[in-house]
Amino acid sequence: MRLTQRIYLVGGGELGFGMSSDPDCHIYAVETGTGLALVDAGTGLNIESILANLRFDGLDPERLRWLFLTHAHADHAGGAAAFRERFDVEVIASTEAAAYLRAGDEEKISLPVAKRGGVYPASYSFRACEVAHELCDGETYRAGEAEFRAYTTPGHCSGMLSFLIEDAGRKCLFSGDTVFHGGKILISNIWDCSLTEYAASLRKLAALNVDALLPGHLAIALSGGSRHIRRANDSMERFALPPNIL
């Protein structure tokens, strides 16, 4: 599903458009001119549906070269190992997320908690994956003609990155699970969810003045993206909580 000149939506589960496995986050593809970059990888339960969506949009999966991960939760990073093995993609993540990925650390990504909550099948396991590049706050990574600027945005969990790119003069933000359409957020009962960090992350993103808000789940805003971010930030600034997506 083409969203902008460069960006396509090629996956997503029941908290989205039903394009791939039910637990999957939104999975985006970016045409960089010299290859394709994915933003997030889904669970890995069925990457064939994601590849079929790429082909439907006229994108050749053999051109996949990069995988940018917003964080290490299984619905976003569980498919990283499969994409790396099959297409030799370079995996890019934060330092914290990279450590969890390399170790296949199911406790650090709160997978047992999510399984008990019925998010994933009981038989699901998280596969370890090597990470080629670690990004810190404000760092950029050039993938072909596209430059991804990373912002550390913890709160929902540790190691969260949001990625900003420019597409035909428009600022497009991949916000992962930090902020969603309608000014919603995602607070969960997991070890690394922090309201204090969440507030700081929303304040940071509210200052970016983005056009498109491309979150990890639910609706997408192709214009007026900052309106949704500011709504969440304004709630936090008033000592209130924005609505939670769950």
* 72-78 average pLDDT score: 98
* 69-74 average pLDDT score: 98
Q: Where are the alpha helices (DSSP H) in 73-211?
A: 74-77, 80-87, 95-103, 111-116, 195-206
Q: pLDDT for 142-186, tens place per residue?
A: 999 999 999 999 999 999 999 999 999 999 999 999 999 999 999
What percentage of the chain reaches a pLDDT higher than 70?
100
Please compute, for residue 86, the number of CA atoms within 13 A of its CA located in the half-sphere on the CB side. 15
* 110-126 average pLDDT score: 96
Q: pLDDT for 122-151, tens place per residue?
A: 999 999 999 999 999 999 999 999 999 999
Tokens of 34: 């010299």
Site of tokens 């000014």: 183
- CA-nearest of 107, 129, 128 to 116 is 107
Is the CA virtual torsion 58, 174, 50, 185 positive or negative?
Answer: negative
Predicted local distance difference test score (pLDDT) of residue 49: 98
Predicted local distance difference test score (pLDDT) of residue 103: 98
